[in-house]
Structure 1
Amino acid sequence: MSKLLKYDGYNYLRQRLVLATLSGKPVRIEKIRSDDENPGLRDFEIKFLNLLEKITNGSVIEISFTGTSILYRPGAIEGGRIEHDCGTDRSISYFLEPMIALAPFSKKPFVLILQGITTDHIDPSVDIIRTVLLPQLKRFGVDSNLELKITKRGAPPLGGGEIVFSCAPIRQLKPVQFIDEGRIKRVRGIAYCTRVSPQTANRLVESARSLLNRYIPDIYIYTDVYKGAESGKSPGFALSLVAESNTDVLISAEKAAEPGQTPEDVGKMASKLLLNEIRKGGCADTTSQWLNLLLMVLAPEDVGKIRIGELSAFTIQYLRDIKTFFGVSFKIQPDTSNDTILMTCMGVGYVNQNKKTT
């Protein structure tokens, strides 16, 4: 039996459950909002646990009577075709992000159909996952049948969106050394709107271009206007932007409309956030740091290296958790020539035992 790992608090719940699933180590998480007026797990966290149960085989999840502690004994990642309603407390991405890390190591090809909100202002949108996180997986050798389709858009509060994520399992990742950040050569983006005037998408594009054109001429922002049944249940609009360098670095930023914001506000804010991400430098943006570092740890027993701009608080905690579950420490080396950080580690040589060698 592996030793039971213990944690307190609801923060970083998803990443700990994912690391437990990959490492096969049981974990107990206690004191979940124990001092809160409404203690215990939230609805969306229970839905996430339900999803974990659906995609694994033989997992044991015990939730205490008050909901303030959970015990998770991970089973094997099974995969297959799974439908799941994510509710409307958090967006689909809250559920999808961890699945991207688990899907390559499943037994059967993953076909995951998730329903709910496609873009909100808490989690990365499904667009960013499709345009930024999936290409990172390809770099590590996960490329067969990897795709994300947005079949319906759903804005908060009522959602009504739907996505289909598919990924074929692999036996082992490829080691990666990615330290050349190159120069930004173009910006691509998606301005989407549902249940508002189609003109809204054009206004998003105009305001973003007014700022970004001073920086780079090659900008193309695709407008995605949803009508009728595909537009979900609530009005909404958002802009996601991706800057691409000549060495295939992808840097992303986005902004979803909050109450009282005009398309012009959203367009400008998204552009400023993008320029800020570009300024940080590195080969992985804030959104995709965790995925790159996790895949480097799971890669073959070889040295993996990546350059990042600055470590977010989330990533710092992620590195601590990786050390606890996998015993891997990163060498963190600041590069003073351009204020970036080189992260180096030795992979653990993780092999997907479910997948037979062909």
Structure 2
Amino acid sequence: MVQLSRSVILVWNGLELCIDWLSAVRQVYIELTKFFVWIIGTSVVYKPGIIIGGRIEHDCGTARSIGYFLEPLVALTPFSKTPTVLVLQGITTDNIDLSVDTIRTVILPQLKRFGISENLELKITKRGAPPLGGGEVIFSCPNVRQLKPVQFTDEGRIKRIRGIAYCTRVSPQTANRIVESARSVLNRYIPDVYIYTDVYKGAESGKSPGFALSLVAESTSDVLISAEKAAEKGQTPEDVGLIASKMLLNEIRKGGCVDSPSQWLNLLLMVLAPEDVGKIRIGKMTAFTVQFLRDLKQCFGVSFKIKPEASSQTILMACVGIGYVNHNKKAS
């Protein structure tokens, strides 16, 4: 059951987007899930049910990219009753939300560290650049009964940088120009740099022309640091390559075993892990992470021990998990 006020939706587009996101999340639950929007004001009351999983298709629209919907669903679907297959349509890369490339190359490997690994996959079947989108991804996630505790504190040294330069409905040379521009910066830092080019044509290229670059730096201790940039109006392929490269080097400079966009996910999974001490090293704490720590305290009653280390300018985060068990999954 969903109760909406049409007038509220027309007044505040942000609330409409929130409702659209809740509609996507609601599809992974059974009928116990409800959310209400009060006619007076902009309050949303959400009452989740049991996460059921299964195969779900959702059109994410063009207000936000697929990453806006997929990022929180990545944290929910491992605790479903059955394995989940999500088919999401929309924009695959923009400059607001995580791109599907970064989710595939950085977020999913982090899930595997917590024991979510079997049949975990994200396929990009169609690219969709803003503003019209037209992309499609298929996310497959297993269901687990319980997570594994994690102690991830060794940053290691950056040993290689990989990336994907994609373009849709533009000249194939665009991707090569992005690569050359990025390498002109990154090769000064490390010689092992390889950026793949991904050129889409026809039905797989979405509805709008566009190009972007997603970069990942990997350390000797399997740390993954990401940065990405999608082309905006007036920007050349060379601009995209330079900006993304500098963003990656800045993210590496911050230190830590996870990058800024994935701090929250690792902290959440540490809280849900077995009743053992979990530790992780992060770089500069984002404003989102600060608020998220308050939310974790309010929702789960878990506080983190925060230990800044001046020598590495990083922060050691530690907590004892609540031992969450997914009782919907039968014990094997």
Give the TM-score band, short-chain normalised.
over 0.9
1:77 to 34, 48, 51: 51
> Partner of 2:160 in structure 1?
186
Rate the CA distance shift 1:209–1:178 in 2: closer, same or farther, 3 A: same
Q: 1:123 aligns with which of 92, 97, 107?
A: 97
Matched, 1:112 2:86: yes
The residue type equivalent to 2:66 in the other structure is I
Deviation at 1:66, TM superposition (A): 5.2
Matched, 1:45 2:18: yes
Query: For the residues of structure 1 that align with 2:222 and 2:144, how far apart are their CA atoms?
Result: 23
Query: Could you tell me whether the CA contact under 8 Å between 1:305 and 1:345 is conserved in 2?
Result: yes
Give the 3 Å change call, closer, same or farther, for CA 66–295 of structure 1 in structure 2.
same
Distance in 2 between residues matched to 1:189 and 1:73, nearest whole Å? 40
Kindly state the Cα deviation for residue 41 of structure 1 after the two structures are TM-superposed: 4.3
Partner Cα separation in structure 2 for residue 44 and residue 166 of structure 1:
24
> What is the match of residue 212 of structure 1?
186
* Structure 1: unaligned runs, 5 residues or longer: 1-33
SS in 2 for 1:50: helix
SS in 2 for 1:300: coil
1:65 is displaced (CA, Å) by 2.5
Write the letter of the residue equivalent to 1:191: A
The C-alpha deviation readout for 1:113-159, integer Å capped at 9, x for no partner, is 00000001100100000000000000000001100000000000000
Aligned AA (2:69):
F
Q: Say if 2:15 and 2:42, in contact at 8 Å, map to a contact too.
A: no
- Confirm or deny that 1:334 pairs with 2:308: yes
Distance 1:127 1:217 in 2: 23
| Displaced runs of 4 or more, over 2 A | 36-44
Corresponding residue number in structure 1 for 2:5? none
Aligned counterpart in structure 1 of residue 263 of structure 2, from 285, 289, 292: 289
> Residues 234 and 243 of structure 1: is their aligned pair in 2 closer, same or farther, counting only changes over 3 Å?
same
Count of residue pairs the alignment pairs up: 324
Deviation at 1:42, TM superposition (A): 3.5
Q: Which position in structure 2 is the counterpart of 1:60?
A: 34
Distance of 2:231 and 2:291 partners within structure 1: 29
Partners of 1:265 and 1:287 lie apart in 2 by 22
**Residue in structure 1 matching 2:234, options 252, 255, 260:** 260
Structure 1 segment 11-30 matched on structure 2, within 5 A: none
Q: Deviations over 1:75-107 (max 9, x none)?
A: 011111000000000000000000000011000
Residue aligned with 2:180, SS:
helix
CA distance in structure 2 between the aligned counterparts of 1:86 and 1:67, rounded to whole angstroms: 25
TM superposition shift of 1:64:
1.8
**Where in structure 2 are the equivalents of 1:243-254 lying within 5 Å?**
243-254=217-228
Is the contact between residue 179 and residue 195 of structure 2 (CA under 8 Å) also seen in structure 1?
A: yes
CA change 1:90–1:67 in 2 (3 A) is: farther
Shift of 1:214: 0.5
Percent identity, aligned pairs only, is 73
Q: Distance in 2 between matches of 1:266 and 1:67?
A: 41
**Match for residue 16 of structure 1?**
none
Q: Does 1:313 align with 2:321?
A: no
Whether 1:103 and 2:80 are equivalent positions in the alignment is no
The letter for the 1-side match of 2:231 is A
Q: Is the 8 A contact 1:117 1:156 kept in 2?
A: yes
Contact 1:44 1:86 in 2 (8 A): no
For residue 47 of structure 1, report the CA deviation from its aligned partner. 1.3
Task: Write the deviation string for residues 158-204 of structure 1: whole angstroms up to 9, x where unpaired.
Answer: 00000000011000000000000000000000000000100000000
Whether contact under 8 Å (1:40, 1:68) holds in the other structure is no
1:354 aligns with 2:323: no
Q: Measured at CA, do residues 227 and 67 of structure 1 come closer, stay the same or move farther in structure 2, by a change above 3 Å?
A: farther
Aligned with 1:149 (options 123, 141, 160): 123
5+ unaligned residues in a row in structure 2: which ranges?
1-7
Report the equivalent of 1:26.
none
Report matched runs for 1:154-193 at 5 Å.
154-193=128-167
Q: TM-score, normalised by structure 2?
A: 0.96
TM-score, normalised via structure 1 length: 0.89
2:3: which partner in 1? none
- Deviation of the 1:37 alpha carbon: 9.8
Displacement, 1:336? Answer: 1.1
**Residue equivalent to 1:133:** 107
Q: Which residue of the partner structure matches residue 28 of structure 1?
A: none
Contact 1:39 1:66 in 2 (8 A): no
Residue 269 of structure 1, CA deviation: 0.3
